[in-house]
Amino acid sequence: MGKNGKIRVGIVGVGNCASALVQAISYYTKNPEAPGLIHRRIKGWEVKDIEIVCAFDIDKRKVGNPLKEAIFAKPNCTIVFEPNILNGDVEVMMGPILDGIAPHMRDYPEDKTFIPADKKPVDVAKVLKETGTEVLVNFLPVGSEQAAGFYASAALEAGCAFINCMPVFIVSDEEWGKKFKERGLPAIGDDIKSQLGATILHRAIANLFSIRGIMPEQSYQLNFGGNTDFLNMLDRSRLRTKKISKTSAVTSALNNEIPSDKIHIGPSDYVEFLNDTKICYIRMEGRGLGGAKIEIDVKLKVEDSPNSAGVVIDAIRFAKVAMEEKIAGPVYIVSAFTMKHPPVQLPDEEAYQHIQRYLNGDGKLW
Ligand X SMILES: NC(=O)c1ccc[n+]([C@@H]2O[C@H](COP(=O)([O-])OP(=O)(O)OC[C@H]3O[C@@H](n4cnc5c(N)ncnc54)[C@H](O)[C@@H]3O)[C@@H](O)[C@H]2O)c1
Closer CB to ligand X, 131 or 227, in the complex: 227
Residue of 9, 50, 140, 346 that binds ligand X (CB under 6 A): 140
Nearer to ligand X, 56 or 162 (CB): 56
Q: Which of 360, 336, 280 is nearest to 39 (CA)?
A: 360
CB neighbour list of residue 299: distance below 8 Å, 6 or more residues apart: 279, 280, 281, 282
Query: Would you list the DSSP string of 173-236?
Result: SHHHHHHHHHTT-EEE-SSBPPTT-HHHHHHHHHHHHHHTT-EEEEEEEEEEESSHHHHHTTSG
> Contact region for ligand X (CB under 6 A) — 24-32, 224-232, 292-300, 327-335?
224-232
**Residues 6+ away with beta carbon under 8 Å from 64:** 91, 92, 94, 117, 119
Which lies closer to ligand X via its Cβ, residue 50 or residue 302? 302
Q: Which stretch binds ligand X (CB under 6 A): 189-197, 207-215, 248-256, 312-320?
A: 189-197
**Binding of ligand X at residue 142 (CB under 6 A)?**
yes
The one segment of 27-35, 46-54, 79-87, 97-105 that binds ligand X by CB under 6 A: 97-105
340 close to 308: Cβ distance less than 8 angstroms: no
Is 247 one of the binding residues for ligand X (CB under 6 A)? no
x/- map, 8-37, ligand X, by CB under 6 A: ----xxxxxxx-------------------
Interacting stretch for ligand X, rule CB under 6 A, among 83-91, 139-147, 172-180, 280-288? 139-147
Q: Does 234 bind ligand X (CB under 6 A)?
A: no
Cα gap 296→124, rounded to integer Å: 48
58 binds ligand X (CB under 6 A): yes
* The one among 25, 147, 313, 327 contacting ligand X by CB under 6 A: 147
Q: Which residues of 327-355 are buried (b: 16+ CB within 10 A; e: fewer)?
A: bbbbbbbbbbbbbbbbbebbbbeebeebb
Stretch touching ligand X by CB under 6 A, among 38-46, 181-189, 257-265, 301-309: 301-309
d(CA 82, CA 40): 18
- 158-187: contacts with ligand X (CB under 6 A): 165-166
Contacting residue, 141, 216, 286, 310, with ligand X by CB under 6 A: 141
Which residue type does 348 have?
Answer: D
The phi and psi torsions of 288 (rounded to 5 degrees) equal -105, -145
Q: Are 182 and 158 in contact (CB under 8 A)?
A: no
The contact set with ligand X (CB under 6 A) reads 12-18, 56-59, 95-98, 100-101, 114, 139-142, 144, 147, 165-166, 191-192, 194, 197, 227-229, 232, 304-305, 307-308
